[in-house]
Structure formats: C-alpha cells, structure tokens
Structure 1
C-alpha cells in the first residue's frame, strides 16, 4: 500500500478504475471529455421521476379533497352550524402551509449540511409518512363533537407536512443538480404527472363518488403508498448511483 500522509493512494486509484469501468464516455460540444455513471435499465431515471411525484402528491392530495372532506364533513359540528374556522378554512390553511415553506427556504440559504443531503431526505420522508398516517387514521374517527380540536390537529399536521416537504423538495433538487439534464427533466416530468393524476382523480371522485369519507381514505392512502415507495427507492438510489470520483477522493483526503 502506497500512502502519502493520511491519503491512501491505492484506494483512490482503485475507486477511479471502478468509476471509469462503470461509466460511459461522452464528448460534449466543448470537446471536453466527461464521464457519466451508467444507468442500467433507466432505474435512476425512474426513481428520480418517482421522487418528482413524491414531492407534490402528499400536499396536493390534501388540498384536492379539502373542500368536501374537511369543510363539509370533518369540521361540521353535530348540533350546530358551521363554525368560523371551517368557513375560513382555506385562509388558515394558506398561512399554515406557506409560512413553513418560507422559513425552510430561508434557513436553507444559510445552513450548511456537513453530512450531505441524504439524511435530510430520509428524515423528511419519514415525517411525511407519519403525517400521512395521522391524516389517514382520522378518516374514520368521528370528530363532530370536537371539531375545533380536530381543526388544531389538522393545522399542526399541515405545518409539519409542509416543513418536511420543503426540506425534501429542496434536498432532492440539490442532489439531482449534480446529474445530467435528463435527470432534472425526469423530476419535472414526475411533478407534471402528479398534477395530471390528481386532476383526473378529482374529476372521477367528483362525478362518481358519493361517499366523501371513502374518497378521502383512498386519496390519503395513495399519498401514503407513494411516500413509502419513495423511501424504499431512495435507499436503492444510493446503491445505484456511482458518485463523482473527485468528490470521493476529497472525502478520503479530509478523513
């Protein structure tokens, strides 16, 4: 083993050989040679597309069913008229959803993550999973006798969901920024697909579904399953991607 100080040159050399062996060589317009990781069976592409869906679907499912489910059903007291917080539900919802996003984006400008973005993504996904589970559990719980309490729980859930989603979305864009343009496009395509899917689902449930409780259950269940798939696929993604060899070398040198 050849060493210079704390640097293991043999290890760096072997990693470079592995990287080049598992890469495809391209020649851009500026005639500079670059190496890109191989994407066998387009797995990385489709995983990033899935995460494009995952960054939007929990919140979009929530607000799509909100008028029928929250305002007309869950926040309707048993023996009285609709309260003020139900009438102005979307005003409260807007504040509780946008303010966390603003704070997260502001903090993201100044907080440097030493351990990389992956831990933040995993943590955010599990928080999203917990938020979806809580919302799903309350679907079949009668809240007509404590609508204000349920309203507070809902607003707290919205704050947590949007905070986690802001971290998740920003971190995913931070990761795919190192990928070639087609992978960034995959994330955007996932977001577009999410919007189309929810729009079609909303049309179907509006025209054909009479039971808002079961409609909400399926909405939140789909969001929950997508988040689960995103969690599993992110761990797979880390094993599929061959990271930049220069970054790996710097990591070896600094450690």
Structure 2
C-alpha cells in the first residue's frame, strides 16, 4: 500500500508539470522545491515593489502609464538624432575639409571608414546582445560619439596641434570611433524601442532624418554669421557636441521613467522560474523560449537589460548552438522585413550620396548637387513621418515595393549619362527623382523596422531590433560597394561644361 501511494504521489507530481516532456520534481522533493520556489518568488516580488517596479500581475491591475506631453516620444526622436549627428557633423563641413585637404578624397574616405566600421560594430553588438547590459552598450556608444567630436573640435579645429598628414589620419580615426559607438548605440536602441509601442520606433527613425536637417541648418547659420572659416567650424562642432550631450542626458532620464519601466519590465516578468532548463520551440508560431528555472532573487543589474529575466538567469543559453538557434527562429519570423530594409538601403546607397553628388549642370554648377541632396534629406524626413500612418503591410508586399525602387538606378544614370550630354539633362529631373527616392527611402526604410518588433514575443524584441540593424547595415555596405561602379559615368561631366564654355568663347567675335 505504501509503495502504491508513493507511486500515485509521484504520478500526480509529474501530471502537474507545465510541460509533460520536462520533469522538474518528484514526490516529497517536489513539494520542498515548490515551497522554496514560492518563497523565492515572494522575496523577488517584495524586492521589486521596494524598487518601485511593477510585477506582471501588478502591471495588469495598474493602468498603462501615459506619455504626458509626448515627452518620451520627443526623447526617442532625439535618440535618433544622436545616432547620425556625429557622423553628419564630420561630413557636412565639406567646405572646411576641402580647404584644409585640397585635392584629396577626404569625404569619400570618411564615408567608407564609417560604413565598414559600422558593419563590424553592428555584428559585434548582435553577438554580445545577451552578454552585455543594454544600457551599458548605449552609454558606451554615447561616450564614443562625444569623445571624438570634442577632441577634433579642440585639438584639430581650434588648437591645430597636428601636421597635415597626421590630422588627416586622426580625422579618419575619429570617424571610425564615432561609427563604432553610434552603431552600437543605434542597434541597441532599436531593440530598446522594440519593447515600446510602435510609434516610438518610428520616432527614433524620424530622428535619424532630423539629424541631417539640423546639422545642415547649423552649418549654414554658422557660416553665414561667422565669416572666419575656422571660427565657424569650431562653433559648428561645439553645437554638435551640445546636441549630442542633450540626447545622452535625456536617455539617462527616460530610462528610469515609469512609462519605459512599464513596458521594459513586462517581458521579463511574464513567467516565473522553476528548477532546471527548458527549451520551447514553437515552429508554427516561430517562437522560442530559453528558460532557466533556478529560482533566485533579482539583482539590480538584471533590470537594465531586456535580454535578461528578472529573477532568472539570461533568457538564452550561453552555448553557441543555442544562440544561433535563437537568431534563426527570430530571422525565420521577420525574414521579409529583413530583406525589405536591406533592399531599400542598398538601392539608396547605390545613388546617394555618390552619384547624386556628381550630378552637374553647366549653369547651376555646384549648386545642383547641393540642391538635389537637400531635397533628398527633406523628403526622407517626410517619408519617416508618413511611416507612422497605421497601414497593415504584409511582409511580402513590403518586400515587393522595396524592390520596385530599383527603377531609380537607371533614372539617375540617365541624368549623368552620356557624360556631358545626359539624356535627362534638365535640372528638374534629378530633383524630382531625388524627391521620390527620399520619400520612399524614409517610408520603406522605417516600416519594416517598426513592424518587425511586433511579430516576435516581447522577450525577443531586442534581438529582433539588432537583427534588423544587421540587415540595414548589410544593405548600406553592399550599396556603397556598388556605388563605385557609377563614378566612371561622371568623370567628364565637369570638364564637358568647361569645353562648352571655351567653345562658346572661341566662337564669339
């Protein structure tokens, strides 16, 4: 009888297991483990309440916090500004660079350095997403962006401590450092905002376009108000440092706000922890969960990263096969969005800024590429705002629309080829094409990033954001590589205007 009763007790313990394929306790040992787990859970909830952080049960009872005065949205928009502001600061003062480094390809070298380092940085950040604290990565990115800006402002522009060749190399090194910091910051922020409502991801991407507009206006104003080129450039860089510092301070304030904590703590508190490892792979839903079920009281550091459970060990197993499996399942769900954003930025980088900056007109001269690029920046900003419209896109339809943008490549080529007498020589053509390309780039470059976060579970949104950034950077890199092929089409564009002018002079009386 005793053995039969013991056997029934064991069977009932197994039947009560959440997953019959995973046995976590037997007999009276199971009762003891459950008691310990319950005590640990109570201690964990008490610790969270002491820190003012809601558990999942509390969050269901409490109303959703409001974004009063849209302050969180504004902070996320400035976060997007902070991604691209340092790099735009280096390449927007093109007049100063051409004056200081005449006859060199300084702007092209900066662009190439930025893209290569940024690709390496986003791959590294994607590897370390489960190992390093989210806010540690963001803070490090801000510091790596602020440091080079301040260093170049003081030591190179103001004090001019370096020789010509040294300054050239130091500027490239500064751009590389900025690229690493800003890309880690950008990739982490997309995972961060992926846990918030969709409009905040759109706000971040709108901020990226805002950075170009703000820096362009800053350069125009400093150049108009200060005739001295060195002084205007110094003030220009210091304004950029101030804006970047403002973005950093707002991040430090917002990360502890009740609104952000409500959304970033829910994914971690959604299920309790028991003893042992459990791996759930739902192929139909494209979802995967890695849970460590050893009860533990939460530590303060675990609250800072959505890649970590509160009261649990890291969400994903630390073994490489498990990490690869996690990424595979996430990519399997958002593959169409990954391809959409990669194709969008690939087509854009094939033409901008390379080919667009080489478009010439014998009357407008250098003003035409400036106008064309300005039209692109403004229309890209409009496109990112339009991405906030509630349109229910299917992934395949989004990918098809992104691929249709390939028509811009032959259209822009016709604006520069044949060299000297292009088929579409009127300056209105490149402006119209740039307007359409900018709007479509802003829209189809933002919508996939916004939708991808909603297709995975809350726990996987940071990883989904990082995965989308890998696709984004891959498109940028491939587009920049293909852009080399377009330079040969514009080699004689400027000289043809000179030949035409000389021919008109010689033909005159």
Q: Distance in 2 between matches of 1:8 and 1:147?
A: 63
Q: Secondary structure at the match of 1:87?
A: coil
Displacement of 1:189: 2.3
Q: Distance in 1 between matches of 2:151 and 2:265?
A: 39
Displacement of 1:206: 5.2
Structure number, greater radius of gyration: 2
1:1-255, aligned counterparts within 5 Å?
A: 4=37, 7-9=40-42, 11-12=44-45, 15-16=54-55, 18-20=58-60, 22-24=62-64, 37-65=65-93, 67-73=94-100, 75=101, 82=102, 87-137=104-154, 138-142=156-160, 146-205=163-222, 209-240=226-257, 241-242=260-261, 243-248=264-269, 250-254=309-313
- Name structure 2 gaps, 5 residues minimum: 1-34, 273-308, 315-509
Q: Secondary structure at the match of 1:112?
A: coil
Displacement of 1:98: 1.5
Moved more, 88-97 or 200-209: 200-209
Query: What does the per-residue CA deviation read over 1:18-50, in whole Å, with 9 as the maximum and x for residues that have no partner?
Result: 5345532xxxxxxxxxxxx43233222111111
**Contact 1:22–1:38 (Cα < 8 Å) also in 2:** no
Residues 175 and 149 from structure 1, CA distance in 2 versus in 1: closer, same or farther, beyond 3 angstroms? same
Q: Secondary structure at the match of 1:54?
A: helix
Displacement of 1:11: 4.1
Displacement of 1:113: 3.0
Moved more, 153-162 or 110-119: 110-119
Query: What does the per-residue CA deviation read over 1:117-144, in whole Å, with 9 as the maximum and x for residues that have no partner?
Result: 210000111111111110110211235x
Residues 200 and 129 from structure 1, CA distance in 2 versus in 1: closer, same or farther, beyond 3 angstroms? closer
Residues 213 and 155 from structure 1, CA distance in 2 versus in 1: closer, same or farther, beyond 3 angstroms? same
Moved more, 163-172 or 199-208: 199-208
**Contact 2:91–2:110 (Cα < 8 Å) also in 1:** no
Q: Distance in 1 between matches of 2:69 and 2:60?
A: 19
Q: Distance in 1 between matches of 2:216 and 2:36?
A: 60
Query: What does the per-residue CA deviation read over 1:200-252, in whole Å, with 9 as the maximum and x for residues that have no partner?
Result: 33444555542211221122112111221122111111210223334046421
Q: Distance in 2 between matches of 1:254 and 1:87?
A: 53
Q: Distance in 1 between matches of 2:224 and 2:128?
A: 47
Q: Secondary structure at the match of 1:254?
A: coil
**Contact 1:205–1:215 (Cα < 8 Å) also in 2:** yes
Displacement of 1:5: 5.8
Residues 246 and 12 from structure 1, CA distance in 2 versus in 1: closer, same or farther, beyond 3 angstroms? farther
Residues 189 and 91 from structure 1, CA distance in 2 versus in 1: closer, same or farther, beyond 3 angstroms? closer
Residues 93 and 192 from structure 1, CA distance in 2 versus in 1: closer, same or farther, beyond 3 angstroms? closer
Moved more, 10-19 or 43-52: 10-19
C-alpha RMSD over aligned residues: 2.6
Residues 21 and 40 from structure 1, CA distance in 2 versus in 1: closer, same or farther, beyond 3 angstroms? farther
Q: Distance in 1 between matches of 2:63 and 2:159?
A: 53
Q: Secondary structure at the match of 1:56?
A: helix
Q: Distance in 2 between matches of 1:109 and 1:195?
A: 26
**Contact 2:226–2:232 (Cα < 8 Å) also in 1:** yes
Q: Secondary structure at the match of 1:23?
A: coil
Residues 252 and 142 from structure 1, CA distance in 2 versus in 1: closer, same or farther, beyond 3 angstroms? closer
